[in-house]
Amino acid sequence: MSKKRMIIVGVGGMGEAWMNTLAASTDADYAALVDVSAPTLARQSARYGVPESVCFTELEQALRIPADGLINVTPPQFHEEVCCAAMRAGLPVLTEKPLSDTLPAAQRMVACAHETEQLLMVAQNYRYQPFVRTMHDLVASGLYGKPGQAQIAFYKGPHFGGFREEMPYPLIIDMSIHHFDMLRYILEAEPVAVSGRSWNPSWSWFDGDASCQLVFECSNGLSVLYHGSWCSTGDETSWSGDWRIECEGGVIASEQDIVTQGATGQPMRLAATAPMPLRAQAYLLDEFVRALRGETVPATTGNDNLKSLTMVFKAVEAVQTGTRVTF
């Protein structure tokens, strides 16, 4: 079966992960590279053996190259422009999260996908990890009954530089989308309200509030406490955070992406890990390619991802206003 040829837009930074993923793939290859930085293009062209003739600083030029799909790894404020241009040119799109930097822009992107009848898939790669699948399957099995409350703790201290350190709510807008999407997937729950607050400790290197505490109320009666920080000191959680899901008859938890489980009154024990031959970007690329071949419908379509992105902007509204915000 022939490889699907991809245009990658944004090949520095996070784009490096996608360059590596395509290099290792047996199902996809490079059609063209796009980046606003000519030196970055030249470096990646040489490193990955992509001809300079298909490396461009303008998207319009790349869209003239025969391709099967486009992978968008630009900053969120450019997602609408890049994705809609590609879909209007007849290309399905796999875009990095968040879907966009504003909810109206994300809604326009989903509308564009509908109008052009092109696939718009979002790279919510945190769903595609063995421990996440393990927790989802344990909750769905009903082994301990229905979940009634859950806590998510996330503590990291990354120094990114660039646009993330200039965002008004960097953790909520750029990172928490992963945890919120995991919440919806693992717990099979849809939030109906959120409340909370955000702040910046005195040592923070972010311009905007990099710490928050939120409470999500879900349609099935489940309450979820989320506490996170991007300017933590000392020991850190994994990037996926530490989870504790309390059910009617027991607990499902994870720490450093290791899942444990236990019935009420019984000691916690290691859970059997769900098998996942592919994960993260490799899983996403495989699902995107299979969707292009008509073999599957991706779980993280733009339409589905709007629900996770809505959580982000409702959370921002809640911390800005100090009120309980409904969905």
What is the DSSP code string of 56-120? ESSHHHHTTS--SEEEE-S-GGGHHHHHHHHHHTT--EEEESSS-SSHHHHHHHHHHHHHHT--E
- Whether the per-residue pLDDT at 279 is higher than 90: the answer is no
Mean pLDDT of 122-126: 92
pLDDT band at 162 (very low <50, low <70, confident <90, very high): confident
84, 90 Cβ separation under 8 angstroms: no
79 and 39 in a single domain? The answer is yes
148 and 9 in a single domain? The answer is no
pLDDT at 101 (0 to 100)? 87
Please check whether residue 293 lies inside any domain of the structure. no
Spatial distance between the Cα atoms of 295 and 1, rounded to a whole number of angstroms: 13
28, 4 Cβ separation under 8 angstroms: yes
Mean pLDDT of 34-59: 98
Per-residue pLDDT tens over the stretch 200-241: 999 999 999 999 999 999 999 999 999 999 999 999 999 999
Secondary structure class of 29 (helix, strand, coil): strand
307, 184 Cβ separation under 8 angstroms: yes
173 and 106 in a single domain? The answer is no
Give the percent of the chain with pLDDT over 90: 94
**Residue 236 burial class via C-beta count within 10 angstroms: exposed 0-12, middle 13-18, buried 19 and up:** middle
- Whether the per-residue pLDDT at 148 is higher than 90: the answer is yes
Indicate which CATH number applies to the domain containing 313.
3.30.360.10
Q: State the DSSP code for 177.
A: H
150 and 111 in a single domain? The answer is no
Please check whether residue 295 lies inside any domain of the structure. no
pLDDT at 284 (0 to 100)? 96
Spatial distance between the Cα atoms of 51 and 30, rounded to a whole number of angstroms: 10
Spatial distance between the Cα atoms of 201 and 284, rounded to a whole number of angstroms: 36
Structural domain count of the chain: 2
Mean pLDDT score of the chain: 97
Cα 117 to the center of its chain, rounded Å: 23
Spatial distance between the Cα atoms of 224 and 219, rounded to a whole number of angstroms: 12
Q: Which domain covers residue 83, as residue numbers?
A: 4-123
Spatial distance between the Cα atoms of 54 and 229, rounded to a whole number of angstroms: 41
Mean pLDDT of 5-10: 99
Please check whether residue 283 lies inside any domain of the structure. no
Quick one: angle between helices 176-187 and 130-141, nearest 10? 30
Quick one: angle between helices 15-24 and 280-292, nearest 10? 70
Domain end, chosen from 92, 123, 154, is at: 123
pLDDT band at 65 (very low <50, low <70, confident <90, very high): very high
Please check whether residue 289 lies inside any domain of the structure. no
Q: Considering only CA atoms, which of 207, 190, 210, 186 is closest in space to residue 198? A: 210
Spatial distance between the Cα atoms of 297 and 223, rounded to a whole number of angstroms: 30
Please check whether residue 302 lies inside any domain of the structure. no
137 and 262 in a single domain? The answer is yes
Torsion of CA 306, 309, 314, 317, to 10 degrees: -130
